[in-house]
Amino acid sequence: MSSPAADLTLRHPVERFTLDNGLRVVLAPDSSVPVVAVSVFYDVGMRSEPEGRTGFAHLFEHVMFQGSANVPKMEHARLVQAAGGTFNGSTHQDYTNYFEALPAEALERALFLEADRMAAPAITEENLRNQIDVVKEEIRVNVLNRPYGAFPWLQLPQIAFESFANTHDGYGSFVDLESSTVADAQDFFDRYYAPANAVLCLGGDLDVTETEKLVRRWFDQVPHRPAPPTPYTGEPSPTTARHGVVVDPLAPAPALAIAWRVPDPVADLDTYLGTVLLSELLSEGDASRLELRLVHRDHLAIAQSSYVGLFGDPFDVRDATTLTTQVHHPAEITPERVLAAVHEEVEKVAQDGVPAEELARVQARTSAQLLRGADSVLGRTLGFASAELIHGRAELAGELAARLAAVTPEAVQHAARGLVPDTAAVLELHTAGGAA
């Protein structure tokens, strides 16, 4: 049985300092492999977008790869790859990140590249227009022309939440994207891409003293701008059930998604961890409660899954968020039958609790997944950066496996008692052939 033993805690040393321009720097040295990872997390995500500019956080992520003051277009990619490295970026609900993994001797190259685009990305009409076209094509491929492309991540929040921050389409509407201007992009950069609104996290084979000198050499010259206030994304807990229906002409089978509000992932982390394990207990693996009930025993479902956070990213989101269960089911099975069975399985946990042995299996699997994700220098560095930005403590990333192992059966039972039917948001997806 798993226990919150010391061997589940990643004890990598973490050093931190802050530049005069407000940039927070986290160093996580590890000399076991001759590799370094460089990541910059900006405190701006989909939930930061103003009305009329849906999709702008993701669009601007694309623009940041179009060159900068001293780096021509495509040169960032060439310089990283020529050094034997890889790079990427991603947009989330509450942050946007950019990162490289390279041989240790190429550290300064990556710092130069990130500092240059932090100071002055190439925000031009040509770059903005071509990236709007790229994002629109992504939406066509990933959402509009793909079965279940918007289900449930774009459609369920509209009935699960109330505020614009939580309900709007983070991929962006074509109208909003096409009406974006260079002035909008420059304003977005000036407001959200200030050094004081970012965390620079470096991991791997680096010397702390020398690395600090390199960081200061390249990032001290980025001008200070005040960080914007962190947008408030919390909402009052719902007191009624909410329901919606969408039709997907490309879907081969109907589906159902259920979302329950969960505790604040930052302010109430210990309670929240019980919810994370509950989602795993309900649906992860062939022996999970919903897999056995819906798929194997009652044949109500083709597939099912549960997760916490819009993208299944439970440890790098702020309040408000949900535990979501989605079920794809045969056309002859009504959504009501599926919904009733899901609620019954949750109620069993709420009423009867969880056997310690069952919870231990879930904890072992979940802790192993976290530790496996931290195996690589890049995975570990991204985890530290996310924890520093969202929770204010990079070290938390190394503690999560042990903290999950310490969650009690009573905490998971308490989490289940919070998933009551009369506060759930339910979204039915029907096929073009008619109602399920």
Longest CA–CA span in the chain (Å) reads 66
Kindly list the structural domains of the chain, giving each domain's residue range(s) and its CATH number in brackets, ordered by start: 6-219 (3.30.830.10), 242-431 (3.30.830.10)
Label each residue of the chain as H, E or C. Answer: CCCCCHHHCCCCCCEEEECCCCCEEEEEECCCCCEEEEEEEECCCHHHCCCCCCCHHHHHHHHCCCCECCECCCHHHHHHHHCCCEEEEEECCCCEEEEEEEEHHHHHHHHHHHHHHHHCECCCHHHHHHHHHHHHHHHHHHHHCCCCCCCCCCCCHHHHCCCHHHHCCCCCCHHHHHCCCHHHHHHHHHHHCCHHHEEEEEEECCCHHHHHHHHHHHHCCCCCCCCCCCCCCCCCCCCCCEEEEEEECCCCCCEEEEEEECCCCCCCHHHHHHHHHHHHHHHCCCCCHHHHHHHHHCCCCCEEEEEECCCCCCCCCCCCCEEEEEEECCCCCCHHHHHHHHHHHHHHHHHHCCCHHHHHHHHHHHHHHHHHHCCCHHHHHHHHHHHHHHHCCCCHHHHHHHHHHCCCHHHHHHHHHCCCHHHCEEEEEEECCECC
pLDDT tens series, the chain, 436 aa: 444 445 777 777 899 999 999 999 999 999 999 999 999 999 999 999 999 999 999 999 999 999 999 999 999 999 999 999 999 999 999 999 999 999 999 999 999 999 999 999 999 999 999 999 999 999 999 999 999 999 999 999 999 999 999 999 999 999 999 999 999 999 999 999 999 999 999 999 999 999 999 999 999 999 999 999 988 999 999 999 999 999 999 999 999 999 999 999 999 999 999 999 999 999 999 989 999 999 999 999 999 999 999 989 999 999 999 999 999 999 999 999 999 999 999 999 999 999 999 999 999 999 999 988 888 999 999 999 999 999 999 999 999 999 999 999 999 999 999 999 999 999 999 999 764 4
Contact status, residue 349 vs residue 289, Cβ threshold 8 Å: yes
Amino acid of residue 339: L
Q: What is the pLDDT of residue 1?
A: 42
Shortest CA distance to 259 belongs to which of 270, 275, 277, 274? 275
- Give 387's contacts (C-beta < 8 A, 6+ positions apart): 315, 316, 393, 394, 395, 396, 397
Shortest CA distance to 44 belongs to which of 328, 318, 348, 416? 318
Contact status, residue 366 vs residue 307, Cβ threshold 8 Å: no
Shortest CA distance to 383 belongs to which of 37, 15, 30, 6? 37
CA dist list (Å): 328 to 153, 251, 271, 299, 305: 15, 10, 29, 11, 9
CA dist list (Å): 194 to 39, 131, 215, 349: 15, 22, 16, 46
Q: What is the pLDDT of residue 434?
A: 62
